[in-house]
Copies of this chain bind each other. A is one copy, B any other.
Amino acid sequence: MQTLHVHTPGHSYPIHIGSRLLDNLAEYIRPHISGKAVIISNQTVAPLYLNPVQAACQQLGISVCNIILPDGEQYKNNESLQQIYTGLLQHHADRRTTILALGGGVIGDLAGFAAATYQRGIPFIQIPTTLLSQVDSSVGGKTGINHPLGKNMIGAFYQPQAVIADTSTLQTLPPREFSAGLAEVIKYALLGDIDFLVQLEQTMPGIMRQEQTALADTIRHCCQMKAHIVEQDEKEQGIRALLNLGHTFGHAIETQMGYGNWLHGEAVAAGMVLAARLSEHKGYLKTADTERIIHLLQAARLPVAPPEFAIDTWLALMQHDKKNQAGQIRLVILKQLGQAAVEAGFSREDMAALLQSI
């Protein structure tokens, strides 16, 4: 098992990464839990992993109950949040109750936001069971839900007490979701670490076979990179915005196609190719660089082109992005492979040229 420590102002917490951590879960949650526990999970993950989590609580003599939601990005909404609040109140959860978020990014975001806002904040522990949530969404304190008018529009910055990433849970993940998680892995290489990019080009076949060493090393490296960025910029005032590489396009794809039809990572993969093409148009990347990105994404079995929709649709969708300032579209582009930057001032013509080129 490997352990990282993440430091944010006024708070720090451990991330444990390794194979079969759920077998000894009591040991990892014991230091972080005092009152009772409420497990929040979904109908896909609960039948697989609810038992060991409940058993760990019982082993510690902690009263435990569950709130089980339907599975899918389309349920990361206000209705699910209200269902959690009602469940917490019915279970008489108080300020010492700890929420255990057992599932992928949707469960982590929902349960984390519920923890941030129930009685103005109660503790929570992340137990991510997807590659996406293990590399990305369980680090950084972003919690929240979607709004019918835009993705992730409602939320809070709120840090967990601990993250327990059991890599063996990825064996039950559908291959398409495993690939979607790799989109975020590749994102870290592109935005800030050319050596990691080279390493991924070599290890991707082993990662695709879920070789445990390659997998754990990869997850740890991404968590470290993200933790490093978040420690410098908890509230997303500066460099943290680089983590949104591919995401402005990606969110537009998800919104237009309906949440859940394209997986988040698939939309980000196509979005990163668009960001790379735009970086080419700006003269930062060579065509060969973009092709290298496409090749790696394809090795991870990810889509490399967006669905077709009109330029006005793209522009309308991208107007709600949280990075925008004073009505201007701001995007994360690549200055070169392994180096990202935020740029503003993209015109309708830039977007038209970009979308015609693909």
Knowing A78-B82, A89-B147, say if A155 contacts B117 (CB, 8 Å). Answer: yes
Copies of the polypeptide in the assembly: 2
Q: How far is the CA of A82 from the CA of B78 in the complex (A)?
A: 9
Residues of B within 8 A of A82 (CB): 78
**Does any Cβ of B come within 8 Å of A320's Cβ?**
yes
Knowing A94-B324, A322-B94, A326-B35, say if A117 contacts B147 (CB, 8 Å). Answer: no
Q: Are B154 and A142 in contact (CB under 8 A)?
A: no
> Whole-angstrom distance from the CB of A49 to the nearest CB of chain B?
28
Q: Are B94 and A325 in contact (CB under 8 A)?
A: yes
Q: How far is the CA of A197 from the CA of B192 in the complex (A)?
A: 62
Q: Are A157 and B120 in contact (CB under 8 A)?
A: yes
**Does any Cβ of B come within 8 Å of A319's Cβ?**
yes
What 1/0 mask marks residues of chain A from 93 to 118 whose CB sits below 8 Å from any chain B CB?
01110000000000000000000111
**Does any Cβ of B come within 8 Å of A150's Cβ?**
yes
Residues of B within 8 A of A320 (CB): 89, 92
Residues of B within 8 A of A249 (CB): none
In the complex, what residue of chain B is closest to A90 when comparing beta carbons?
B149
Q: Are A325 and B120 in contact (CB under 8 A)?
A: no
**Does any Cβ of B come within 8 Å of A345's Cβ?**
no
Q: How far is the CA of A96 from the CA of B330 in the complex (A)?
A: 14
Residues of B within 8 A of A12 (CB): none
Q: How far is the CA of A327 from the CA of B96 in the complex (A)?
A: 11
> Whole-angstrom distance from the CB of A343 to the nearest CB of chain B?
17
**Does any Cβ of B come within 8 Å of A85's Cβ?**
yes
**Does any Cβ of B come within 8 Å of A156's Cβ?**
yes
Cβ-defined partner of A85 (8 Å) among B35, B118, B154, B326? B154
**Does any Cβ of B come within 8 Å of A9's Cβ?**
yes
**Does any Cβ of B come within 8 Å of A153's Cβ?**
yes
Residues of B within 8 A of A327 (CB): 92, 94
A interface residues (Cβ-Cβ under 8 A, vs B): 9-10, 35, 78, 82, 85-86, 89-90, 92, 94-96, 116-121, 142, 144, 147-150, 153-157, 235-236, 319-320, 322, 324-327
